[in-house]
């Protein structure tokens, strides 16, 4: 007989009137919902039980109903979009109504508008991760926040990923005052590791993740990086 931990149950949904399922025709100002596909893949690789709740429109009543359903069915809830400061961004206020918001907005890029808290409904409660809407920001915040929390719920011990040193083979722009996670390609030659970027680093460019095998972690106080400087890199594990 062995003691075991139950697999975490995770409910997730996208928010936004502009979000459409892949395959549906797009009208002006609408986008396809890539976030649910990447979240599904990352959650599956972590071994979670998954509840895909689809797309919820920017309507406070619909969002509250979705949050209540998720809290009663899952250990953790992940949303994408709706945590910025737009007129139709209701996620944070509904989280506060149903529970509490531990923090909102981070000094990081990508992923600044992220909310974390706990909600309750029907005598049950769940952690809530309100992730940004941009696809790369969703994956980065999942990697550095959600991953560790879900592994802890699953009974894992120390979940921290190791940082390594590598030499930058290209210049990297960086503004002091926030931590930045650039997507890079790490390689080794003659016993020395070097890293270059995947190209444009916009938070909507999914290819910057699909082509990368590591993150270049530029600390809060750091400025621009010149070619030849040593930087911290974090190799990606099997999430992407």
Q: What pLDDT shows up at residue 117?
A: 95
Q: What's the whole-model pTM score?
A: 0.91
Rounded to 10 degrees, what is the CA torsion of 135, 207, 163, 133? -10
Q: What is the pLDDT of residue 221?
A: 95
Least-confidence region, from 61-65, 178-182, 200-204, 236-240 = 236-240
Specify whether the CB–CB gap between 160 and 153 falls below 8 A.
Answer: no
pLDDT in tens, 10-68: 999 999 889 988 888 999 989 999 999 999 999 999 999 999 999 999 899 999 999 99
Q: What CA–CA distance (Å, rounded) separates 110 from 118?
A: 23
Average pLDDT on 155-165 reads 84
| Percent above pLDDT 70 for the chain | 97
Q: Which two tokens stand for residue 25?
A: 């025709």
pLDDT in tens, 66-118: 999 999 999 999 999 887 766 557 888 899 999 999 998 899 999 999 999 99
What is the rounded average pLDDT for all residues in the chain?
92
């Amino acid at each position: 007989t062995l003691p075991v931990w139950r697999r975490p149950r995770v409910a997730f949904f996208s928010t936004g009137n502009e979000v459409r399922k892949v395959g549906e025709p797009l009208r002006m100002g609408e986008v396809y919902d890539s976030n649910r596909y990447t979240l599904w893949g990352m959650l599956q690789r972590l071994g979670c039980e998954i509840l895909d709740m689809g797309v919820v429109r920017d309507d406070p009543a619909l969002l509250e109903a979705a949050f209540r359903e998720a809290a009663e069915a899952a250990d953790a809830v992940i949303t994408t979009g709706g945590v910025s400061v737009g007129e139709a961004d209701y996620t944070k206020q509904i989280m506060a109504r149903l529970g509490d918001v531990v923090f909102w907005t981070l000094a990081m890029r990508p992923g600044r508008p992220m909310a974390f808290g706990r909600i309750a409904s029907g005598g049950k409660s769940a952690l809530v991760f309100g992730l940004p809407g941009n696809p790369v920001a969703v994956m980065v915040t999942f990697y550095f926040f959600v991953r560790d929390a879900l592994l802890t719920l699953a009974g894992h011990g120390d979940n921290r990923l190791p940082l390594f040193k590598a030499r930058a083979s290209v210049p990297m722009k960086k503004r002091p005052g926030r931590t930045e996670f650039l997507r890079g390609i790490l390689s080794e030659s003659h016993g020395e590791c070097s890293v270059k970027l995947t190209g444009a680093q916009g938070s909507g460019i999914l290819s910057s993740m699909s082509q990368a095998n590591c993150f270049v972690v530029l600390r809060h106080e750091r400025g621009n990086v010149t070619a030849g400087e040593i930087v911290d890199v974090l190799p990606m594990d099997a999430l992407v």
